[in-house]
Amino acid sequence: MQDQLSEVLYFAKGVIRNKWIVTLVAILICISGWAYIYQMPNVYESKARVHVDTRTMLRPLLRGMAVQTNVRGLIQIMKKLMFTQNNMLQVAELAGLETDLNEAKKHSLVQRLKNKVQIVGGRDEIFSITVESTSPLEAKNLVQAVLTVFSAQTQKSSLSDVGSAQRFIENQIREYEQRLRNAEKAKENFKRENIGLLPGQGESGQIGSIQLIRKKLENALSLRTEILSKKIVLKEQIEEALDSGDEWGLTGIEENGSTGDSRIVSLQQKKDDLLLRYTQNHPSIVSIDHLITTIQETNEQEFEPEITLDETFKAMSNPYVQSIKMGINAIDVEIATINARIASYKKVLQQEDDQFNTRLAIETELQNLNRDYQTIKKNYLSLIDRREQASMSKKIDTQVSALKFKVIDPATMPTAPAAPKRKIFYSVILVASFIIGIAVALLKVFFRPTFIEAKQLRDITGLPILGVVTEVVDDNQAKKNKARLTRYILANIVLLMGYSGVMLLDILS
């Protein structure tokens, strides 16, 4: 802490030793700064306040019956529309400014006016129009011109431009009327093309029919499985007769036939189960059909009876074999009948499924048509209601002026400049000049340090201090020091007098 305090005292003493630098820098900055502020042009501000009354007695009575525009929103839009190029040129012309210029100068004039004109407020329906200019007369004329144009804009803009709105609504009604007719015609044609398949036209009976056919198909498949099992049993009986060694059996029949038939029956049963869930073109069903065909071809190649005419005669003459053969033949006939019935059921079921899918697609398409029709009809009826509202609005909008424009404070000629605030600027420059002067003095102390105490010299050099020589000031030197101090005080007094002079000059002007 002691070291820090010593450091601060060192720089403070350095600034005091360079006090003339502080004063000279302050004088130079003040002279140049005050001169610049003094020559700045005066800016005059003219202001007017207006009240835009948007209240009417009819509005609460007509709420929901006629089109009521948001007038406050309209006023905000009017504020933005005021700053268009045409309006700004009109303001310039009313204010007496030169407007017969080329495009570049016109653009520059419009930008200059936009920077000068300010329209603020909007709360409580009170607006302030402010214009700043170097000429008090020009400021007043510009405010008056803006006031005139702003008033004309608000009075010229009706609440809802009913005529334009009515034309738009009429065009939309004609368009939606045509679309409504097209939608009705599309529904009519669609119903005519799909008569009998529409919702409510026999879909419950069709579902019952599909369920009945599925039940019959399941029964037929189950019956065929039972009959095939009987056929397998009969063939096993023939095989047993062959294995017994008697010569009255069918010795030419091989065991492969029974094995092949068992595999075919198993695959056929699996196929029937899949057909209850899938169509004939399903990959699993196609694969099973191919496998059944392969097994049948293999059985035909391997089953080449080598029965001689004599053996055949012996087999056929045996009553037991003949009865089994007759049973097998009867079963084959019954299987063929059931297969035909199953094929018929599958065909009818496929047709019913296709028709049911078609019915579902038709129902979906009809719902889409109805949805489009209802949407168009709803918009059409809404436009009819809006047309009635617009018609009523047209009759009542010619009522009282929608916007009552009242000037509260008219534009006046400013007598004193609003800017620049010279007194504040003069004071700021004076304070800033001394701060800058002190900063310059500190820089000199920092870059050209001097030793004020013996401790500083010992700390920096690291050498012991043998002694200190004290300066003895004689009378002549004392007089010189006093004269320098007097000159320094006079210089600061002159600076303060200059500050007082510019402040007094600003007050008097």
Asked, as a colleague might, if the bond just before 420 is cis with ω within 30 of 0, I would say yes
Q: What is the DSSP letter of 416?
A: S
Tell me how long the chain is.
509
Distance (Å, whole) CA 378 – CA 383: 9
Distance (Å, whole) CA 462 – CA 404: 89
Taking a C-beta distance cutoff of 8 angstroms, is the pair 41, 133 a contact?
A: no
What local confidence, expressed as pLDDT, does residue 315 receive? 47
Residue 428 above 90 pLDDT?
yes
Distance (Å, whole) CA 418 – CA 130: 12
What local confidence, expressed as pLDDT, does residue 21 receive? 93
Residue 496 above 60 pLDDT?
yes
DSSP for 216-239, written as a single string: HHHHHHHHHHHHHHHHHHHHHHHH
Q: Say what percent of the chain tops pLDDT 90.
A: 13
HEC profile for 320-333? HHHHHHHHHHHHHH
* pLDDT band for position 334 (cuts 50, 70, 90): confident
Residue 314 above 70 pLDDT?
no
> What is the pTM for the complete model shown?
0.46
Residue 425 above 70 pLDDT?
yes
Residue 255 above 50 pLDDT?
no
* Domains delineated in the chain: 2-40+420-508 (no CATH), 44-160+397-409 (3.30.1890.10), 203-389 (no CATH)
Helix axes 203-243, 255-275, angle to 10 degrees: 170
Distance (Å, whole) CA 213 – CA 221: 12
How is residue 494 written in tokens? 């002159």
Q: Looking up tokens 């198993």, which residue turns up? A: 266
* pLDDT band for position 147 (cuts 50, 70, 90): confident
